[in-house]
């Protein structure tokens, strides 16, 4: 029995190592070539340099695209947080007609392919006569990522005691004061984590962005994708490593502020 258990553990561990290697080995390769003197990503490596990082910082196209991505992501975080936090409280604290159906449909942006979401937003914006722009990209990202904020905050609300809010209102506070002084401090970590995750998802988004972005400018993922698929640009590879490190930092911060307990999917929670 022990041998069988030990063998199973070894196989699971080996499978985990292979999965992690498949996921992260390409990132390691990219990081290595970002410091290589080679002008193309081919072996052997001729030497190492920081030149490509300096070239990337001096590239106006990359810097502008990076700025656009940051602005779009910040706008998406603002919109998704403003919509997602009240929606999570509404789902957790109140009963209303169609609540169960709403709980199911709110997950659609999380499970639908990005291409489907992008086509849907493009069709809707064309129907109401809005031209493509970075503003619409931010609007689409923020709307779609509201589900991320809602599910993250809702999972935290399920573990909070509503009696504290009831006591607050019994003592004379109105709902807004209760939210600001009682509810928000209790869900603060989940709101921060949701905002960080939303920022990362918006910053890296391509399928939705490609259908909505216009002449007003491109985001960084769009520039990298459209350029590197046609030609080898070492400075673009170097900038990719910088973005990768920023993404790792943001995800690490999000995991630190989240509670240790695993979140409860909204669809599996009580109606």
CATH number at residue 164: 1.10.3720.10
Domain-embedded: residue 50: no
User: What is the Cα Rg of the chain in Å?
Assistant: 23
Domain-embedded: residue 26: no
**pLDDT average, residue stretch 225-230:** 78
Least confident of 13-22, 70-79, 127-136, 171-180: 171-180
Pair of tokens at residue 232: 């080898």
Domain-embedded: residue 258: yes
Domain-embedded: residue 24: no
**Cβ–Cβ < 8 Å for 193, 257:** yes
Residue 229, pLDDT score = 76
**Cβ–Cβ < 8 Å for 146, 105:** no
Half-sphere exposure of 197 (CA within 13 A, CB side): 24
Whole-angstrom distance, CA of residue 95 vs CA of residue 215: 45
Domain-embedded: residue 36: no
Total count of residues recorded for the chain: 271
Whole-angstrom distance, CA of residue 150 vs CA of residue 109: 12
Peptide bond between residue 44 and the one before it cis (omega within 30 degrees of 0)? yes
Least confident of 54-58, 160-164, 237-241: 160-164
Say which residue, 46 or 220, is predicted with more confidence: 220
Domain-embedded: residue 30: no
Domain-embedded: residue 53: no
**Cβ–Cβ < 8 Å for 262, 52:** no
pLDDT at 247 over 50: yes
Mean pLDDT, all residues of the chain: 79
Q: Which of 70, 108, 114, 129 is nearest to 208 (CA)?
A: 114
Whole-angstrom distance, CA of residue 149 vs CA of residue 139: 15
Residue range(s) defining the domain that contains residue 150: 61-268
pLDDT at 271 over 80: no
Whole-angstrom distance, CA of residue 191 vs CA of residue 266: 16
| Lookup result for tokens 């919109």 | 79
Whole-angstrom distance, CA of residue 99 vs CA of residue 94: 9
Whole-angstrom distance, CA of residue 120 vs CA of residue 110: 14
Whole-angstrom distance, CA of residue 136 vs CA of residue 127: 14
Phi/psi for 50 (5° steps) reads -105, 10
Domain-embedded: residue 187: yes
Pair of tokens at residue 196: 């960080």
User: Where residue 265 falls among pLDDT bands split at 50, 70, 90?
Assistant: very low
State how many domains the chain has: 1
**Cβ–Cβ < 8 Å for 236, 30:** no
Alpha carbon separation from 121 to 75, 115, 225 (Å, rounded): 17, 10, 21
Pair of tokens at residue 38: 């080679």
pLDDT at 1 over 60: no
């Amino acid at each position: 029995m022990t041998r069988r258990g030990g063998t199973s553990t070894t196989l699971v561990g080996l499978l985990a190592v292979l999965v992690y290697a498949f996921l992260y080995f390409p990132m390691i390769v990219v990081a290595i070539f970002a410091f290589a003197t080679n002008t193309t990503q081919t072996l052997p490596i001729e030497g190492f340099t920081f030149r490509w990082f300096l070239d990337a910082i001096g590239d106006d196209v990359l810097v502008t695209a990076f700025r656009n991505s940051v602005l779009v992501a910040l706008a998406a975080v603002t919109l998704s947080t403003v919509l997602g936090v009240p929606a999570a409280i509404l789902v957790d604290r109140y009963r209303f007609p169609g609540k169960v159906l709403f709980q199911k449909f709110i997950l659609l942006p999380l499970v639908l392919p990005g291409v489907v979401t992008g086509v849907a937003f493009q069709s809707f914006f064309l129907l109401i006569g809005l031209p493509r722009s970075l503003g619409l990209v931010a609007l689409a990202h923020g709307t779609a990522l509201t589900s991320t904020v809602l599910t993250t905050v809702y999972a935290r609300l399920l573990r909070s005691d509503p009696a504290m809010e009831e006591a607050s209102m019994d003592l004379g506070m109105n709902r807004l004061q209760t939210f600001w002084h009682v509810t928000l401090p209790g869900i603060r970590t989940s709101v921060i984590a949701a905002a960080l995750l939303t920022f990362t998802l918006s910053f890296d988004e391509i399928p939705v962005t490609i259908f909505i972005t216009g002449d007003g400018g491109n985001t960084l993922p769009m520039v990298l994708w459209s350029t590197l698929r046609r030609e080898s640009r070492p400075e673009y590879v170097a900038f990719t490593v910088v973005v990768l490190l920023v993404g790792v930092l943001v995800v690490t911060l999000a995991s630190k502020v989240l509670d240790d307990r695993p979140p409860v999917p909204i669809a599996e929670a009580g109606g």
